[in-house]
Amino acid sequence: MPESPYLVINPERVRDNYRALHAVLPAARIRFAVKASPVPEIIRVLDEEGAQFDVASIGEIEQCLGLGVAADRLCYGNPIKKAADIARAYALGVRRYAFDTEDDLLRIVEHAPGSEVECRFLSAAPESTTPFGTKFGCTPGEAFRLLVRARDLGLIVAGPYFHVGSQQTDPTAWRIGIEQAGRISNALADKDIAVTSVNIGGGLPISYVDAAPGVGEIAAVIDAAVAEFLPATAGLVVEPGRALVGSAGVIHAEVVGVRIAPDGRRWVYLDIGRYNGMAETENEYIAYRFVTERDGDPVDEAIVAGPTCDGDDVLYQRTRVLLPTTLRAGDRVQILDTGAYTASYSSVSFNGFPPLTVHVSGAERE
């Protein structure tokens, strides 16, 4: 048995998730957000299925190309990029970029001439479970202006782009974004720019402790909004990370110790915490499900914490977590649906704890 903690990924589950999404959104191009789980076997499976890839850095571009993904399947979707990174991406064959500022647009014009571009606007969608806040996206009016400017500067306009925030559990978020994208597209048509694709981003949720709407329900909302608001020329791009890989992973962890604090509350310390895989427990955004070998014994509330000396390395202290009262050091704990944003966030060795190890079908990967 590998040393705990580790993540086990099932790439065939990713394939199933891809096919399920394709079945409900057959007209959409599915672009996997590599950052969610840059595991080579996942990239290979999705490449076989015909996916595109949203890449956020030269590292992800090189990784995909190294695995044999064709450059024309990549979109450099991070709006924050240095001129040198754009030039390098262009030299590597990447011809599709997203941007949200005039500065970045001008860098693309200079270093990736003639490329295809999407402009990310900040949609008016409700906040998601793990929101981006206002870090990305210009106003819809600015997106229109910048896409006209992109055309005038010799770039190929793909269309507007929005992301409703990760783990978005309100399907109307997509309707709101698509309506806004439709208005931008219609204004572009008046400038003789035919939008070829609207990127409706990621954000598709999965069920953790709290059940989330299924992809079928969200796809129905998307379909209706596309029919109502988008011009017929506009294809659709959907850019999921979590929805493809989240359910394909299980973290195997171990109880390091159990303690009753001076205030009487029970703390359960695991060998995995905020810094070696459980980053999305920040603000207790994502409430993961735990399975222990003592399930069936009486349960009581527990504060669940990670192994480092950091006071913030606490997974849950407001979220009500019930764990067996018999739990003790050395017990194995599984954390379900941890295929997205776990190992990929765990890239430093804070406190000397190594990054989370990933196992795929018995083969170990770092």
Ligand X SMILES: Cc1ncc(COP(=O)(O)O)c(C=O)c1O
| Footprint of ligand X (CB under 6 A) | 33, 35-36, 54, 77, 163, 166, 201-204, 239-243, 340
State the minimum distance, in angstroms, from the CB of residue 35 to ligand X.
6
Q: Which is nearer to ligand X, 13 or 163 (CB)?
A: 163
State the minimum distance, in angstroms, from the CB of residue 75 to ligand X.
9
Q: Which is nearer to ligand X, 159 or 201 (CB)?
A: 201
8-state DSSP, 161: E
State the minimum distance, in angstroms, from the CB of residue 297 to ligand X.
35
Q: 335 forms bridges with which residues in the sheet?
A: 251, 290
Q: Name which of 78, 102, 103 is nearest 94 in CA terms.
A: 78
Q: How many CA atoms lie within 13 A of 188 on its CB side?
A: 36
Torsion angle defined by CA atoms of residues 234, 235, 241 and 245, in that order, rounded to the nearest 10 degrees: 160
Contact at 8 Å (CB) between 213 and 307? no
Contact at 8 Å (CB) between 287 and 208? yes
**Amino acid residing at 34:** V
Cis peptide before 113 (omega within 30 of 0): no
Q: 144 forms bridges with which residues in the sheet?
A: none
Q: Which is nearer to ligand X, 251 or 279 (CB)?
A: 279
State the minimum distance, in angstroms, from the CB of residue 246 to ligand X.
8
Q: Which is nearer to ligand X, 111 or 120 (CB)?
A: 120
At residue 292, the 3 state secondary structure works out as strand
State the minimum distance, in angstroms, from the CB of residue 3 to ligand X.
28
Q: Which is nearer to ligand X, 54 or 313 (CB)?
A: 54
Burial of 145 (0-12, 13-18, 19+ CB in 10 A): middle
Residue nearest to ligand X (CB): 202
State the minimum distance, in angstroms, from the CB of residue 199 to ligand X.
8
Q: Which is nearer to ligand X, 347 or 349 (CB)?
A: 347
State the minimum distance, in angstroms, from the CB of residue 90 to ligand X.
19
Q: Which is nearer to ligand X, 10 or 199 (CB)?
A: 199
Q: How far apart are CA 293 and CA 296, in angstroms?
A: 9
